[in-house]
Structure 1
């Protein structure tokens, strides 16, 4: 009851304490009253005394306001001084506690460093890929658009269609088109292929970026028949080619043999749509063929009040109208638009990153659980000291604040170590992921990551410290009876039994580790199968490189002639066994597609056609890549432009179009209306993605359908890189102004194609390692502190004749029981939840029994190892020393 009265007085003092304004008002009223009494005593009437007192006292309201301000300022200073003094004391206490218990500090800091380090790395990836907006004003008002095939797939646009869509779409304040190019820059060191974009003049206005020097295109320079020989260059090209010459606006560039005037330099970092070094006018022609779709995409800025959904619907309506007006080329074709970020982050990449963010939360939770279990494990050793502190007048809130300060200090030290680990891991992540996600090239520890790490430190410090702090403060509270302050002081022993709570936390930690290890195992197994997948071609000892023939110097006839001559010269290089060309190399991050149907079953409308990829290939291409001929024949010397046009198809297309018959000799009708005779069937090859089934594919003869942008494929007897110089000489012998770009082994393209899965596997491996380490540290810490707390019990058992082997078995069994319960719970949750990984797995089921079994064995083995050391230490205790110490 005395305690209840004390609490009631404290509550009343807090709830009914008068405010500063009330106190000042009462004090001034008292002084005025005393002055009035003095004046009445001197002979004034009460009214005269009141007036004289106020006149003599001065402006009461001003004096009251001044006094209130001074009083509040004094109270604030007093509270701040007291708070700073307590904080300094708490910080000194926290550092002293860590120095007095170095083993505990080391285990806790290592746990936090692993958890926060891994979380910082993954947040950096998510920040670079998803959270950091593109460097344009109001990027959420930008959309990316394109035409869609009759089958609904995104496709490029024709110039007349773009002009009509731009004129009819009303939900945009601006709509710009762009198409990537690869011009040859003539330099004193020889030709150099550049990454370029031909864009309409509205592009820079739509993106909201002004040049750092000069200007961008005008409408007149972007019109058919205008002076289109102007160029805007990037900051990197200005630096590399012009040494940042301030008079660059008076300089010129020789691109594909044409002189261009430099009119502007864009700011550093601007490279839309990615890796671009210069921009030229697109100058769309309204009289160009509508079926010749060569514009990559459009980018638009939404009009005020318009939404992305409304803009997409606007484009679709305009495309439907064009289909009615131009049925020969536009029937069934549509248009669509998506948020601008999809230019950088596709749906699959977004799914991967969001999955990683979920794993970040699990990892931080696991770190919190482990450190909380460590704090609870040593809670008993602190209770007597805290009880004494409470007896000397420290309230519960004061004790909680002190313990939370210790937790936050521990978290900050662990966070600093975690940031150091993250900084060490980022070069590996950067080198692995930049090929898949160009935005990861700038991944590094910056203020955003440091801010995240600091926020995570503070949050985790409070989360893992709050429960132990409240428990200790409650146990040390002066509440009488056998427990609390009086119980501690009377017994001199530790009284709080936290073993159940600690055990529950370790079970939760192991369960979380199981979930994360199962996810990592599934992703790792998926990646291993991805590396072993049959690509349908042999990439070993094949050299690839790209060439872009300038349209001004190479018409269709010259393109075909150059292709044939180049293949002959490549075959003549010593060490080359075969050579060929194609418009797009396998897995080169590009595609060309065409609607098709069997000619004998031609649908009534083009929107009922299927879609197939197509490639223009030379003779020798299939032999170079090792793509097998299954039926019919391959292209020969007679398949030239003057002969009937023929095609070779892959097995997938044959099974779709002619499922129960041999397609050789049949004809296929294309979306353009052209009919081609099938002369052969080859094996399926994964030309677009490694982790998807081979697409239906048609191959055209390069001697019939030449393509100005071509890839070389050269098979060598030795290392492909050794033939690079000879390949360049062969190209230069035909055209000295043609550079060969991206000269690399085909295996490098295969590696780049698996970059996203490799990045996912690497990050999950980081998670798995961190989770395994946290589980091992947590179990080791728990068993170690359990042994310390049970020292007297174990000493008594040894003194009574217990054999050390029995002690080892008991301690080891306790750790394995906790681990077994955690593994069982983790397996159950993982079995129910790993279906979320289905979209990023390859040829692995989310419930793969081998993965679940392997994780179970691994975690139980780690639990046994983590429990063995403290178990052996317990068995070697000296009973006499132990009992005397107690």
Structure 2
């Protein structure tokens, strides 16, 4: 306690030093804690509420070299038999649904899942019960529903009598059997599910998928490994099963393989989007920690150099070196504690930045970014380690001064030109170099985000409104669904302010991935490892005009392209070049889903899944020639603000069929922001961390130069008394500080050239060695360093020579 009281008095005597040290620590610890919280919530703990989730793996299939997100149920049942490897396998699919209670309808997201879903995940009911083992066996025969706690409290005010209550889900009667705890959000990481229904009710809830077809890969699949079984061992077993299935079912399982992945590498959920961003942020935050460490060490060295006389007197009158080190370490730990406390306050504010910056979407996004006990423990331990590690070296150096020379010094410190100053200069040099590397990386990501916003998408998203429909739940089939969609399209096209209306099963650059089908072309020799599966979309006439997709050859679909006409398709430029290089693709044929399609048009290439994807083949089929998916979406091109047409669309739907409702409307400008999420988040967060690094570097330069100036006050007074001008003193101080900064910038440029090449795969339209970015960051850092040197140098010129000589 005596050491603590003395440390408090010492820090209070140097408020400038204390403020700079505490703020440096707070910025560094706050930034690192925030990034650690994101990594823990998104990558390390992707399934909150799941028991021993480290045993859970993701199962995905692939065809040739094309990875698919999903598996088919017959394949899943075969892999379930490997009980020596898997404790169990579950399958599920996310879907929106309309829940009706009385006269009130609410759209919500949930999952249809196998009966062992909750048991395998170790989720216990908050209320009632969960699925029974046989509640996924009889198609359409298990109309039971489990609600999420959040929805239960929001919709039913936490009323326990909801158990046994009958509700309408997609116009089908369901009975509520239980409530799952709020800690469990489902198995689609980043998405909050509000209900779960058995897989046997898939037609009533999702109106998609097959429980019998082996080639219908539509279920997201996870498994729990048996104790002691590694992922590599499981992969070896499933490889053998896949080879056996290929021989048994050559028509459906040719070149189909199963992959056992940890959740970190799952191809769906929030990990593929945020994983690369968080990897970059982790590297940057570690750089910030190093800058903080160098900053704190240089400040403590400067402070120790200024206290050489005090420490020498203490040693001369009998103080032990251990006692002095303990005292100096107490001061360091006190600084670390104050910095860590303020850093936690900063982290509590910064941790919600991901939620504030996520793009608009009808999906119930839920990214785990709460600061928990693990995060707090990390912060406390980090603060203690920082205080000990970077307070120990200055304490050890300060506790062994040359007593003879220090005590003979007539009141001036002799730190100038000493090893202390050289070490401080080296630390500041490292700070500046690291800051330049981080700022260059942030600058490249900012420029990449700007280029992404102006990327050639292959379509025009402005003035387009998208709307999702789920007419399968209203009793429509393929025949009646075609009539409904045609009548709706006609009604909307007649509305004032609407230029064109179209239908599509999938829209580009959203959160949801699109379907794919295997394609075969007569005469095309498939190369080893070449993927024959291509993404496709079912569209109506007018789709290309509505989205502004140019047709470079051939014609658009027409109302005459129905079941009685020739089966046709429109392909994109990449598909035409791949299968018919140097030829006109119009009139050529290919097979997809066991149907032969004739090419009648070629559309311009575009972006489909991501901004930085390579050119990929894509084809479109007319919805009148077989609606494989009743859940089509509407797209309207308007003359004004498209968001103003939402109410009009709802009114027209009610007049056409009062039972059909839109589950979501969104402008296409907002819809495609999902594709910009990674570069935008990276640019914003790296900008934030880059500013932190810049401030820390400036504080490091300023803190060391200012402290050295304060220790050389008498020297400057003597120089001015002997005739030195104000400019001489300014040049002396600024020159010494800028020499270190310039050297740091030089080292930083070399480091940036070595590091930024790692960003090449993440950047869009920007070279990792962009000269403008390197030049702007170098100039900016040099100006900030100059300002950090000028402020204490200006104070040095204010020294009164008379006071300096009197003190001397």
Instruction: Give me the TM-score of the superposition, normalised by structure 1.
Output: 0.85
What residue is the counterpart of 1:467 in the other structure? Answer: 393
**1:454 and 1:817 mapped to 2: Cα distance?**
37
2:199 is matched with: 282
**Higher helix content, 1 or 2:** 1
State how 1:249-288 maps to structure 2 within 5 Å: 249-273=163-187, 274-283=191-200
Q: How does 1:68-79 map to 2 (within 5 A)?
A: none
Partner residue in 1 for 2:95? 181
Change beyond 3 A, Cα 1:168–1:513: closer
In structure 2, the residue matched to 1:873 is 795
Q: Which runs of 5 or more residues in structure 1 are unaligned?
A: 1-87, 476-482
Choose from 559, 565, 586 the match for 2:508. 586
Does the residue aligned with 2:259 lie in a helix, a strand or coil? strand
Q: For residue 196 of structure 1, what is the aligned residue in structure 2? A: 110
Contact kept, 8 Å, 2:144 with 2:177, in 1: the verdict is: yes
Q: What's the CA shift string for 1:811-866, capped at 9, x where partnerless?
A: 22222211110011111122122233233222323222222222211111111111
Say if 1:197 and 1:288 are closer, same or farther in 2 by CA, change over 3 A: closer
Which is bigger in relative contact order (C-alpha 8 A, separation at least 6)? 2
Aligned counterparts of 1:604 and 1:843: Cα–Cα separation in 2: 30
Q: Say if 1:548 and 1:374 are closer, same or farther in 2 by CA, change over 3 A.
A: same
Q: Tell me, in whole angstroms, the C-alpha distance in 2 between the residues paired with 1:347 and 1:725.
A: 35
1:328-381 Cα shifts (integer Å, max 9, x gaps): 222222222212344445456334323322222221121121122122223233
The answer to whether residue 610 in structure 2 is matched with residue 689 in structure 1 is yes
Instruction: Tell whether the 8 Å contact from 1:373 to 1:778 is kept in structure 2 after alignment.
Output: yes
Distance in 2 between residues matched to 1:287 and 1:513, nearest whole Å = 55
Q: Deviations over 1:165-192 (max 9, x none)?
A: 3346752121222223333323445543
Alignment of 1:129-168 (within 5 A): 129-132=42-45, 134=47, 135-167=49-81
Q: 559-568 or 164-173: which moved more?
A: 164-173
Residue 241 of structure 1: CA displacement?
Answer: 3.2
| Larger deviation, residues 271-280 vs 429-438 | 429-438
Aligned residue among 370, 380, 392 for 2:295: 370
The 10-residue stretch of structure 1 (514-523 or 493-502) with the greater mean CA deviation from structure 2: 493-502
Per-residue deviation, 1:663: 0.7
Give 1:423's match in structure 2, choosing from 348, 371, 384.
348
Residues of 2 paired with 1:615 and 1:170: CA distance? Answer: 41
Residues 410 and 156 from structure 1, CA distance in 2 versus in 1: closer, same or farther, beyond 3 angstroms? closer
Q: Distance in 1 between matches of 2:472 and 2:358?
A: 33
- Which structure has the greater CA radius of gyration? 1
Tell me if 1:227 matches 2:141: yes
Q: Distance in 1 between matches of 2:791 and 2:135?
A: 78
Q: Kindly report which structure 2 residues correspond to 1:94-493, keeping only aligned pairs within 5 A, or say none.
A: 94-132=7-45, 134=47, 135-167=49-81, 170-224=84-138, 227-273=141-187, 274-283=191-200, 290=213, 293=216, 295-343=218-266, 344=269, 346=271, 349-433=274-358, 441-475=367-401, 483-484=402-403, 487-488=406-407, 491-493=410-412
Q: What SS class does the counterpart of residue 94 from structure 1 fall into?
A: helix
| CA displacement at 1:758 relative to structure 2 | 1.9
CA distance in structure 1 between the aligned counterparts of 2:782 and 2:744, rounded to whole angstroms = 10
Secondary structure of residue in 1 paired with 2:182: coil
Q: Shift of residue 527 of structure 1?
A: 1.6
Distance of aligned partners of 1:640 and 1:169 in 2 relative to their CA distance in 1, 3 Å threshold: farther
Q: Bigger shift: 612-621 or 795-804?
A: 795-804
Provide the rounded CA distance (Å) in 1 between the counterparts of 2:159 and 2:198: 23
Q: 1:132 to 1:663 in 2, by over 3 A?
A: same
Structure 1 stretch displaced more, 166-175 or 466-475: 166-175
| Superposed CA offset, 1:554-609 (max 9, x none) | 2111222222122112222332111111111222222111121333437599x865
Q: Is the 8 A contact 1:177 1:295 kept in 2?
A: no
SS of alignment partner, residue 335 of structure 1: strand
Asked if 1:700 is matched to 2:621, the reply is yes
How many residues are aligned here?
790
Which residue does the alignment assign to 1:680? 601
Deviation per CA, 1:716-739, whole angstroms, max 9, x where unpaired? 222222111111122222332222
Contact preservation (8 Å) 2:277, 2:681: no
> Displacement, 1:291?
5.4
| Match for residue 3 of structure 2 among 86, 90, 94 | 90
Offset from partner CA, 1:462-499 (integer Å, 9 cap, x none): 22222221111111xxxxxxx32674167554344322
Give how far 1:701 is off.
0.6
Distance in structure 2 (CA, Å) of the matches to 1:784 and 1:121: 31
Q: Paired residue for 1:724? A: 646
Q: Where does structure 2 lack aligned partners over 5 or more consecutive residues?
A: 203-208
Greater mean deviation of Cα atoms: 170-179 or 771-780: 170-179
* Correspondence 1:703-782 to 2 at 5 A: 703-706=624-627, 707-782=629-704
Aligned twin of 1:82: none
Q: Once the 2 structures are TM-superposed, how far is the Cα of residue 442 of structure 1 from its aligned partner?
A: 4.0
Using the TM superposition, give the Cα deviation of residue 157 of structure 1 relative to its aligned residue in structure 2, in angstroms.
3.1
Q: How has the CA–CA distance of structure 1 residues 490 and 874 changed in structure 2, closer, same or farther, with 3 Å as cutoff?
A: closer
Quick check: 1:632 aligned with 2:535?
A: no
Shift of 1:648: 0.6
Structure 1's 159 and 425: CA in aligned 2 closer, same or farther, altered over 3 A?
Answer: closer
Output one character per residue of 1:68-96: Cα deviation in whole Å (capped at 9) or x when no partner.
Answer: xxxxxxxxxxxxxxxxxxxx111111111
**How far, CA to CA, are the matches of 1:621 and 1:805 in structure 2?**
72
Asked if 1 retains the 8 angstrom alpha-carbon contact of 2:192 and 2:365, the reply is no
Q: 1:642 to 1:603 in 2, by over 3 A?
A: farther
Given that residues 195 and 275 in structure 1 are in contact (C-alpha distance below 8 angstroms), is that contact kept between their aligned partners in structure 2? yes
Change in Cα spacing, 1:266 to 1:650, as seen in structure 2 (3 Å) is same
2:457 — aligned with what? 535
Contact 1:201 1:217 in 2 (8 A): yes
Distance in 2, Cα, partners of 1:676 & 1:832: 51
- Contact 1:376–1:468 under 8 Å retained in 2: yes
Question: Secondary structure in 2 aligned to 1:336?
Answer: strand
Cα pair distance change 1:244/1:571, threshold 3 Å: same
Alpha carbons 1:125, 1:443 under 8 Å: kept: yes
Contact 1:808 1:872 (8 Å CA) reproduced: yes
Contact 1:151 1:610 in 2 (8 A): no
TM-score by length of 2: 0.92
Q: Give the equivalent residue in structure 2 for 1:61.
A: none
Query: What is the SS of the residue equivalent to 1:515?
Result: helix
The Cα of 1:409 is off from its aligned counterpart by 0.9
**Distance in 1 (alpha carbons) for counterparts of 2:343 and 2:84:** 51
**CA distance in structure 2 between the partners assigned to 1:439 and 1:149 by the alignment:** 30
How big is the alpha-carbon RMSD for the aligned residues of Structure 1 and Structure 2?
A: 2.6
When structure 1 is superposed on structure 2, of 441-450 and 673-682 the one drifting more is 441-450
1:18 equivalent in structure 2 = none
Q: 1:226 to 1:102 in 2, by over 3 A?
A: closer
Contact in 2 for aligned 1:94/1:405 (Cα 8 Å): yes
Q: Which residue of the partner structure matches residue 782 of structure 2?
A: 860
SS at match of 1:725: helix
Q: C-alpha displacement at 1:756, in angstroms?
A: 2.2
